[in-house]
Amino acid sequence: MITVLRAGPLTTVQDLGRPGYAHLGVPRSGALDIPALRRANRLAGNPDATAVLETTLMGCRLRFEAPATVAVTGAVATVKLDREPVSGPVVDVPAGGVLEVGRAVRGVRSYLAVAGGIAVEAVLGSRSTDTLAGIGPERLTDGMTLPVGTVSGGVDGVAGDGSEIGEEIELGIRLGPRDDWFDVAGLFGTPYTISPMSNRVGARLAGTAVTRARAGELPSEGVVLGAVQVPADGQPIVFLADHPTTGGYPVIGVVGDVTPLAQARPGTTVRFRDLD
């Protein structure tokens, strides 16, 4: 059992998500930084799909009621055990030990895996918290407790590398289905920055507005992970894990890999590259 002493601004339980339910209005959800989740689980000896904790910017502090092996990956942050900094991503926590993931100094989200996994109840086959639909376990709050699952016999294979965290990222995009509604040259000809209004639903970008080439509005239509929706103000939004499954604003294109956005802090420069 784990007791949450400090939950942080947004700490949630995440795994690989719940694919296959978009027709019911349920997005995949899951960890924003899948490589970091996989690495944390492998370091802790868990299968890749095991549920972990995803923190946001300010980390969290937890007390472990039983001995545990813990791995922390993702954003660069100081990790302390009983107030003492630890070196390396894997920590053996004694019974009663207090582990703290500190403020992220690079990146946004840290991933904390516990051997055996976070054993909250699964919903539609996943333990992920969906912040938009409200499906899955509640976000962590101070004082709540979390069950830990049974430790497995270990996982074969290397842990793998972590995600790159930089001051500028490039996103490959395939245009469509509504690129004919816009002057697409503007999308590729200007850098954008990540807005502070970004969250697990989408990364809001700020920069030169994408110009409409066609007037009018659309009825709502399906949207997918990585869809780049352009609202009336012309500032693109890249949909992330907790995105809605339909939307009324036209989609200019779809980003092939949204992983770099998981660790992109507000102010990070974003450029688009045409994949077609």
- pLDDT higher than 90, residue 143: yes
Residue 195 scores a pLDDT above 90: yes
Q: What is the mean pLDDT of the chain?
A: 94
- The first and second tokens of residue 102, run together, are 């500190």
Asked if the model's pLDDT at residue 216 lies above 90, the reply is no
Asked whether residue 157 carries a pLDDT value surpassing 90, the answer given is no
91 phi/psi in degrees, rounded to 5: -130, 130
**Is pLDDT of 159 > 70?**
no
Query: 177 near 276, Cβ under 8 Å?
Result: no
10 Å Cβ neighbour count for 243?
25
Residue pair 40/74 in contact (Cβ under 8 Å)? The answer is yes
Region 144-171: mean pLDDT is 78
Q: Would you say 218 and 194 are in contact if contact means Cβ atoms under 8 Å apart?
A: no
Nearest to 33 by CA among 45, 10, 16: 16
This model's pTM is above 0.75 = yes
Q: Indicate the range of 50-59, 64-73, 216-225, 254-263 predicted with least confidence.
A: 216-225
As given in the structure block, the two tokens for residue 90 are 């894997």
pLDDT per residue as tens digits for the range 71-117: 999 999 999 999 999 999 999 999 999 999 999 999 999 999 999 99
| Mean pLDDT (whole number) for 195-206 | 97
